[in-house]
Amino acid sequence: MNIGILSKRTTMLTGRLKNCLESKGFNISIYTLDNLVINQNLLNQDFYILKSKNLFFLYAGYFLEANGIPVIPKPDISFIQKHRIHSNFLMKKIGLTTPEIYLGTIDTFKKQFSVEDFPFILKPLMGSGSKGVKIIRTLKDLNSKGKTILYLEKFVKGIHYTVYFIGDEICTLIKPPLSDEHVDMKLIETPDDIQDLITKWRNYFNGDLLFGHLDIVREESNNKLYVVDPGSFPEFTNWKCRGSPIENICKLILEKYEYIKKK
């Protein structure tokens, strides 16, 4: 079987996925920005793994789906977790608690915010993880000019978690605030309310969300859980729970492809 991987890089998790699948006898081709052209040649693979949420790779995913080639995870699932407005409103629809968000230009914020409103978290509209994320303590911390639309979240003070899930296995870690998934984290036993939150998130996607993560903050004063960021395909750098994340991800992807073929 021929499998394509859409990824920004050939190393790290992508490289390990390639090695895992090749060890099972499959032919693997990795498509990065250096060699990806969205045309009929892509249709020579049996299915694709969508590792990157970069828009160009998402476009490739939509092209493949339109031509009957399965893509795992589905491009819609990856896109909705990359676009912070979409993901925020989806989580509210599902019943998850998220921080209050604010959208506007620097000029509108100057007219509406007072000192008591701060701090906020500034995030790119498109993205996931900590890239481009910074804490905003005063209006002077906002360097934007003109009519650029900014996305702000109300800062939630409390314990920060990264919660991985692969199939039914959940791995919960405490992390430093505003850090990426590559910093060292402390493994803890998954609390019941976090288990319920992950189950609710996964159930919405009706079996299509095979793995991923949620960044969560437990608010200091009321113990409430706020979901601050979803991720469809993390690197699983801090996976410290049972089993090999690579082997389990490969297994889930191959099982999903077999299921799709039979439909």
What tokens appear for 221 in the block?
Answer: 């004063």
Model pLDDT, residue 126: 84
Beta strands in 111-210 (DSSP E): 120-123, 134-136, 150-154, 158-166, 169-175, 186-188
Cα(260)–Cα(237) distance, integer angstroms: 29
The pLDDT, as a whole number, for residue 139 is 84
Element (DSSP H or E) covering residue 12: helix 12-23
Cβ-contact 198, 164 below 8 angstroms: no
Give yes or no for a cis peptide into 234 (omega within 30° of 0). Answer: no
pLDDT at 128 over 90: no
Dump pLDDT digits (tens) for 184-215.
Answer: 999 999 999 999 999 999 999 999 999 999 99
Tokens 């925020």, located at residue: 88
**Contact of 215 with 177, CB cutoff 8 Å:** no
pLDDT digits (tens, 9 = 90+) for 215-246: 999 999 999 999 999 999 999 999 999 999 99
Cα gap 36→87, rounded to integer Å: 27
Angle at 161 between CA 5 and CA 109, to 5 degrees: 90
Does pLDDT of 143 surpass 80? Answer: no
Tell which wins on pLDDT, 186 or 147: 186
pTM for this prediction? 0.94
Domains of the chain: 2-72 (3.40.50.20), 101-154 (no CATH), 157-243 (3.30.470.20)
